[in-house]
Amino acid sequence: GIDIRLLGPMPTPGIAYLTRTLHACAGIVISASHNPYQDNGIKFFSAQGAKLADEVEAAIEAELDKPMQTVDSSRLGKAERVEDARGRYIEFCKSTVPSSLSLKDLKIVLDCANGATYHVAPSVLDELGARVSTIGTEPDGLNINEGCGSTQPRNLQAEVLRQGADLGIALDGDGDRVIMVDHKGEVVDGDELLFIIAQSRQQSGMLHGPVVGTLMTNLGLEHALASLGIGFHRASVGDRYVMEMLGEKGGVLGGESSGHIICLDRTTTGDGIVSALQVLAPMVQKGVSLNELKQGMTKYPQHMINVPVEQRVDLDDCLPVQDAVREVESVLDGRGRVLLRPSGTEPLIRVMVEGEDGRLVKEQASALAAVVEQALRA
């Protein structure tokens, strides 16, 4: 007996925005996010346009296992299409930057990952005056995220250099992530984008509270923010945990290295288009390149090795592994860090070592991964 508003193919953050502004009780998206189409699942948003807490999702899953209850024909809900859904979202994205902002002097290559942003993202940039060249804008339902988008930016890097563009923007299939490419063809990842936005907000007096990253956030971001007097906290990996910690710490800005950036002073969830605009605005206002904007942060070399596992294991009680971790930490001597964590989506243990010396980091990561592999076989 529920009434449905059909939006058609839309970026995930567009669903979040329209759920809130159309005063719906919930938003539902079918999406594989940054993954292949075979991984399609269901995402839910609350009436406020926010992702649901773990316990709420678990309760929904439990309800799905129960017999379905239906109503009689006189009480059936109605389904209607929102014809101007794209237009509403395009206008919202544009509203997150000053109305006077013009991108007319920027040549941008845009990779839409053959996904949900293929129409709205070019429209937003075009309507703001940018000269836009696109790749990954021919979705067929099967080619989403295939060799393109924020997880595979090689084609974008090549196109930026070939066209002599000012920068490139790569979104993922459902549009909640973004990474960028500067005019030199160098990738600017989520940590660097988060730094640029935080610095811009601070300079305009609009940064409230600390910035939140994750356990995987590069140490360089933490140090760069500290040099600006900006607080920083690490949440568990996953945008919902970043969101939770922002609420706990009273912050408005957080994100992940993958390009999942949350600007709570602009929207309620990670939004690739909106995040890109928050980077383009200070570029234009200062008259500098993307490469210049990222210079305030120096990334630490980081090496990660994925160790396959047959089932989830707890390495906290494994003495050989914990001894190896302490040994690596001793070698790094306070100038780096070690992280062991199970993947949330794959049967893997992620072994990450980060520090000032790239060669040493790689050596120590390999040594630690070997100990983990041996412990798993024991």
Domain boundaries, given as residue ranges, for the chain: 4-85, 87-296, 302-377
CATH fold for the domain made of 87-296: Alpha-D-Glucose-1,6-Bisphosphate; Chain A, domain 3 (3.40.120)
Q: Is 146 exposed, middle or buried (0-12, 13-18, 19+ CB in 10 A)?
A: middle
Q: Does the structure show a pLDDT above 80 at 345? A: no
- The pTM assigned to this predicted structure is 0.93
Torsion (CA) 60, 64, 65, 67 in degrees, nearest 10:
130
Summarised one tens digit per residue, pLDDT across range 92-105 is: 999 999 999 999 99
Q: Across the chain, what does the average pLDDT equal? A: 96
Torsion (CA) 356, 360, 361, 363 in degrees, nearest 10:
180
Give the model's pLDDT for residue 377: 84
Q: Measured between alpha carbons, how far is 369 from 307 in angstroms, rounded to an integer?
A: 7
Which two tokens mark 23?
């005063």
Q: Measured between alpha carbons, how far is 289 from 286 in angstroms, rounded to an integer?
A: 9
Q: Is 340 exposed, middle or buried (0-12, 13-18, 19+ CB in 10 A)?
A: buried
Q: Does the structure show a pLDDT above 80 at 63? A: yes
Please check whether the two domains, 4-85 and 87-296, share a CATH topology: yes
Give the model's pLDDT for residue 55: 92
Summarised one tens digit per residue, pLDDT across range 129-173 is: 999 999 999 999 999 999 999 999 999 999 999 999 999 999 999
For the annotated catalytic residues, the residue numbers are: 33
Superfamily for 302-377? Alpha-D-phosphohexomutase, C-terminal domain (3.30.310.50)
H or E segment and range at residue 96: none
- The correct CATH number of 4-85 out of 3.40.120.10, 3.40.50.1000, 1.10.10.10, 2.60.40.420 is 3.40.120.10
Q: Does the structure show a pLDDT above 90 at 330? A: yes
Summarised one tens digit per residue, pLDDT across range 278-304 is: 999 999 999 999 999 999 999 999 999
Summarised one tens digit per residue, pLDDT across range 208-251 is: 999 999 999 999 999 999 999 999 999 999 999 999 999 999 99
Q: Does the structure show a pLDDT above 80 at 21? A: yes
Summarised one tens digit per residue, pLDDT across range 175-218 is: 999 999 999 999 999 999 999 999 999 999 999 999 999 999 99
Strands 348-355 and 302-308: antiparallel
Q: Does the structure show a pLDDT above 90 at 317? A: no
Contact of 220 with 296, CB cutoff 8 Å: no
More confident residue, 147 or 342: 147
Specify the 3-state DSSP secondary structure of 91.
Answer: helix
Give the model's pLDDT for residue 12: 98
